[in-house]
Amino acid sequence: MQIWLLPVLILYFHRVSAASVLLNLWVGFFIALESFAAVFAIFTAQISDVLAFPFIKLTEILNRLLLSVPAVFVENDWASFRVPVYPGGMKIIYFLYFVPVLILTFALNAWKPFELSSKFTAQTFKLAARASFIFLAFFTGIIIFHPFSAPKADGKLHAEFLDVGQGDSALIRFPNGETLLIDGGGKIDFGAIRVEKENAETEFFERDTQTIGESVVSQYLWERGFSQIDYILATHADADHVQGLIDVAKNFRVRAAFFGRTPVNNANFAELNKVLQRRETEIVKLKRGDVLIFDEAKIEILFPDPDETARKISENNHSIVLRLNYGNKKFLFTGDIEKETESELVKNPLFLKADVVKVAHHGSRTSSTEEFVKAVNAEYAIVSVGRHSQFGHPHREVIERWTASGAKIYATGASGTIFISTDGKNLEVQTFAR
């Protein structure tokens, strides 16, 4: 079953089970014992609760034993591992995989070693089996270790603004092939249902659904062929920016994580920090004046000022603001800063000039002041926002302000993922929804 289902499990679930055979043997044994104990408990309970009590306790003990070993594997991430898929035409590898599987299946089915009249000789079986095993092992390795799945470095800088609804997430691919994920989106009543009660109170029932980090950001990265994201960066600790990074940190190999402030009293940040520490991922704090070099690309940290207080809040106006430079082209990422931080930044307008800007705070009227918009003077303004924002984002006056400055507006909610690439001289813009 594992051999036959391998491509399906990877294509649909991006998961390979590393312990299923062992765990099924364990679970199968104890679930049989537990079932017999439960049946005896039910029958004896019709006669006497006292007679049934030992069987009830035995059922509970067997159930704990049944769950104990799988729990150890799951808690230590030994049960399975996540795998990306080959994009585009390379998906043919999943069909080629079934060629040796089919040959081996027919060979085993036709081989009847104890029938003297069998035309399928041992020598024929050996040849078919060996050839099938060799090709099966080859294709299995290509699928599981996916050496050719990730996009190759092409000397260009790529910025991909993901459609994560009411949140922010952008994947940067540097000219040398390294990757940086800025924010990871997150849940703002994601999957919640409004429930009206008889006393006119309103409650939110939260369905047990996958998070945006799992169902959107991780899925996008897997479909692009990535199993490693070199760096992640959280502009601040709001759920719609940092929560999705928790799933990314769980699902992908991450070399280092960048933060401005590290508010340990924030639940989402604390969970992300816990995952990073468990995976021994390096954590780097950034402040105004820091510069990061990625091959020929450079990131300038424009905000926030340094702060060593671990319990300091990380709100909108403490967002990391960074400018990414490659050749003559510049990208400005603003997190969720509002007018107070913008007024601080416009004191040094030369550092704000950019060709592409990620509009602050999803196009809220609390941001994008006229002075800030003029200082940036962007050619393209990207608004990361839901198609139907419950906050009314982007606000009309903000869009008018950026449009009046000469910027062309793109919103992820309307355009889907927005792809921008540059060779340092020219910009190319594409959108998922054309």
Statement to judge: residues 236 and 280 lie in one domain = yes
Domain co-membership, 72 together with 93: no
Residue 227 CB neighbours (<10 A): 18
Residues 216 and 112 in one domain: no
Question: 186 in a domain, yes or no?
Answer: yes
270 within some domain: yes
Q: How many CB atoms lie within 10 A of CB 53?
A: 13
User: Are 175 and 275 found together in one domain?
Assistant: yes
**Which domain range does residue 330 map to?**
157-431
Helix (H) or strand (E) holding 187: none
Same domain, 246 and 281: yes
Note whether 94 and 30 are same-domain residues.
no
The answer on 246 and 119 residing in a single domain is no
CA distance 356 to 381: 6
Q: Please give the pLDDT value at position 17.
A: 87
Q: What is the CATH number of the domain that holds 305?
A: 3.60.15.10
> What pLDDT is recorded for position 114?
64
Is residue 370 domain-resident? yes
**Does residue 173 share a domain with residue 32?**
no
Which tens digit of pLDDT belongs to each residue from 217-265?
999 999 999 999 999 999 999 999 999 999 999 999 999 999 998 888 8
240 and 100 fall within a common domain: no
Residue type, 96: L
pLDDT tens digits along 4-44: 999 999 999 999 988 888 888 899 999 999 999 999 999 99
Give the separation between CA 207 and CA 189, rounded to whole angstroms: 10
Task: Determine the residue type at 47.
Answer: I
Clarify whether residues 126 and 216 are in a common domain. Answer: no
368 in Cβ contact with 404 (< 8 Å): no
Whether 220 and 97 map to the same domain: the answer is no
The pTM is what?
0.87
354 within 8 A of 378, measured Cβ to Cβ: yes
User: Does one domain contain both 192 and 100?
Assistant: no
pLDDT attached to residue 433: 79
Domain count within the chain = 3
For 227, the token pair is 């199993």
